[in-house]
Structure 1
Amino acid sequence: MQLFLLSALTMTAFAANSILNRLAVDSGAIDAASFAALRVLSGAVMLGILVAMRGASLQLVARRRAVGALALVAYMVGFSSAYVTLDAGLGALVLFGVVQITMFLLAALRGAPPTGAQILGASIAFAGLAWVLWPAGGAAVAPSGVAFMIVAGIGWAIYTLAGRTEPDALAGTAANFIVALPLVALAVPLTGAPLTMSPAGTGLAMLSGAVTSGLGYALWYSILPRFTPSTAAILQLAVPVIALVAGVILLGEAASLRLALGAALVLGGIALAVLSGRRRAPAK
């Protein structure tokens, strides 16, 4: 039960990141690159303070750190840039589809291929997600947005797998944010986009960085070793559904039978995959 609650809290934090990013960037309150930079800066400050209060040390130079930090940069910059041109629902579909495929492939290469039940669960969950999020009416899709989201998905998949070997989830996440910060900051002028930083956009970026990213990612790293890589990939398919449900509850968006049935398929597929994954010893 504790693992279920921690997993639900983590996926809710991930969903909140999507909502905060869309509120800030889609409204023009802040540009995508500045949002990503402030997000990483706020996460680094929050996590650094918590690590210092605990009296722990940060390992900033290590092979694990290079992989984690570079993957975090790819995710942060790709994620924020994609939502400039990409529909929110289709963006989530591309992101978590790429995350799942990448993690399945990398896990298989490392000797932990998904089981038949996990593949079935993933297929059911992804079908439900596609049904809910696929844009109606043949809406045009921006190739640049899809490309950015593919980069973000690959980056997040690698970041997730790298976290399974972190001996200290909080310190490891803090170190990743600190090392990634100058690289993300360099991406701001390289985008060539005009900079926009209103108080509202800055506040949303800092909230996303300090709370739903920094603390959320540290929590994710702490529970990752208890899942197989394939199960961890499938579990994240719940994030877009949580975001949609939050929109209904918090923003007064319209609920629909399509949303309810799609959510049931996603959660049912995840349940099948997670229960199957628990019968296997997690691959290190």
Structure 2
Amino acid sequence: MSDSNTTDFTNPSTFILLGIPGQEAAHVWISIPFCTMYAIAILGNFTILCIVRREPSLHEPMYYFLCMLAITDLLVYTSTLPKMLAIFWFNSREIDFSACLTQMYFIRCFSLMESGILVAMAFDRYVDICHPLRHSTILTNPVVAKIGLAVGLRGGMVTLPSLLLVRQWPYCTTNIIPQPFCTHTAVVKLACADTHVNSYYGLFVLFCVMGLDGIFIAISYVQILRAIFSLPTKDARLKTFGTCGSHLCVILASYVPGLFISLMYWFGQNVPGHIHVLIPNLYIFMPHMLNPIIYGVRTKQIRDRLLWFFTHKGA
């Protein structure tokens, strides 16, 4: 191929992010819901972290895992939204090659970390309901810390091979990414190389890592439901099941949009291109905004602490 038809982008210095292609004139308006989600996520997650830190009665495994989830939510927003808003507001589309790969790495890593935390929270609910007398001896603080460390290491190590593969490929056609941030799929499409190994590894991560997480969560709740239905009274069953309500809502908020996106990808050939970009972006950020709201509304201890704070402040 002649030099007049292509530019050598092998290890390019920058990528160009287009935002929402075809909707450049509406970028400022599109930024409003994303900016609102960012503000809610920052406020909600920091509130949960502060409440758990300051309230000794909340120093339990369930709330430690909730803090891990809040930190993950904050990291997802912080690694993506500032650059996304800069594109929408200031048309700042260039992103350094290394920064793009770092952003891509963080998105995948934090998604895997969140999945692992949801498994840990399911395990906590299982032990608390099925083995209540042993809960404090099984989930001690050192064990919780080791679970958190394992979740973080798993997310980082499982994501690392994809980053190394993407970094070594040549980019010889274009450096334009039709997204408001660097996703793994968008970057891989620009590579001028055989990317099948990356596709196979992505399927491995999907089925053998996140798929196993879903199986572990399902097994935990099968055991939880068996224990709940063995309780003698309806009130006891409802009260016990209520302790799982927040976790179940977070799981639905995390997995149901993903199923919708998959259906849109396979059956939405007539959906406009900007919708194919906009909806997945909303899916990435929406669960991380909803998590603190769900736990703040449905968890009595956190709700009571918030009410006490506003009442005490008002007094």
Task: Please give the TM-score of this superposition, normalised by the length of structure 2.
Answer: 0.23
Structure with bigger RCO (C-alpha 8 Å, 6+ apart): 1
Larger Rg: 2
Task: Please give the TM-score of this superposition, normalised by the length of structure 1.
Answer: 0.25
